[in-house]
Amino acid sequence: MKPMLDDLALPQVQVVRSYDKRMLAEHRATNMDGSFLQNMGRKPSCLMLAGIASGDDALGFIEQLDDKFNAGEPVTFITDIIADADIEQMLIDDFKLEELAGKPNRFAYVLTLREHIEPLEPEDVSALNSDILDDANSLLEDLVAGLDLGLSFPTGLEQFLEPLGSLLGRLRAFNQSVNQSNIP
C-alpha cells in the first residue's frame, strides 16, 4: 500500500519509522526498595517518512507537500505501519527537502508526522456556576447579618464602664494600703 497524506500519494517512500512512548510516573515509597510506576497513558504517536520524488510532476508534488506543511492543519494519513493503530489524523511536524544532483526534478524529502488528538470540549458548567453563586450570596447575607449584630456589642458595654472604672480605682487603693501595711 502506497502511503497517502491527505489526497497526496507519497512516491518512493524508502523509510517509515514509528515512535511511540508511554508516560510513566515514578512514585518512591519511604523505607522501601524500589518504586511504583503509574501509567499516565501514551504520548501522541510520531512517524518519520523519507522518500524521493522524481520526474516531471516532482516539483508540483513538493509544492503541494510544502503547502500542507505551511497550513498547519491536521491531515489524514494512511499506511500499512499504522493500520492497526487507530490513528485518524496527523500533523506535519517537520518537513525537510533536498534537491538531489545528477538528474533534473529529483528531490529527497523527510516528513515527521505527529498524531493529532482533538482536544476535549469543556463541559457546560453554567448550572454549576449559578449554584455556586447562589451559595456565595447566601453566605454573604449571613456574614452581613452577623456584622450587624456585632455593631451593637461595643455600644452595649458602655453601661459597665462606670461601675468597672470605680472598681478599678478601689482595687488600686486597696493594693496600696496592703503594701503600706507590710512595710517594716
> Does pLDDT of 12 surpass 70?
yes
Task: Tell me the H-state helices in the chain.
Answer: 58-71, 126-156, 161-181
- Say which residue, 1 or 90, is predicted with more confidence: 90
pLDDT of 170: 81
Question: Do 116 and 91 meet the contact criterion of CB atoms below 8 Å apart?
Answer: yes
pLDDT of 151: 65
Q: What is the rounded average pLDDT of the residues 31-45? A: 85
> Does pLDDT of 77 surpass 70?
yes
Calculate the average pLDDT of the chain.
83
Q: Give the number of other Cβ atoms within 10 Å of residue 19's Cβ.
A: 12
For domain 4-115, give the CATH number.
Answer: 2.40.30.200
**pLDDT tens across 78-94, in order?**
877 666 667 778 999 99
**pLDDT tens across 128-180, in order?**
677 787 888 888 888 877 777 666 666 666 677 777 777 777 888 888 888 78
Q: Provide the grid cell at 115.
A: 498524531
Distance CA 118, CA 163 (A): 77
> Does pLDDT of 183 surpass 70?
no
∠ CA 85-86-92, rounded to 5°: 85
Q: What is the rounded average pLDDT of the residues 35-64? A: 90
DSSP, collapsed to helix, strand or coil, labels residue 84 as coil
pLDDT of 128: 67
Q: Domain limits of the chain?
A: 4-115, 126-174
94 DSSP β-pair partners? 112
- Say which residue, 27 or 125, is predicted with more confidence: 27
Nearest to 5 by CA among 82, 97, 79, 77: 77
pLDDT of 64: 94
Q: What is the rounded average pLDDT of the residues 22-45? A: 86
> Does pLDDT of 44 surpass 70?
yes
**pLDDT tens across 113-126, in order?**
998 888 888 887 77
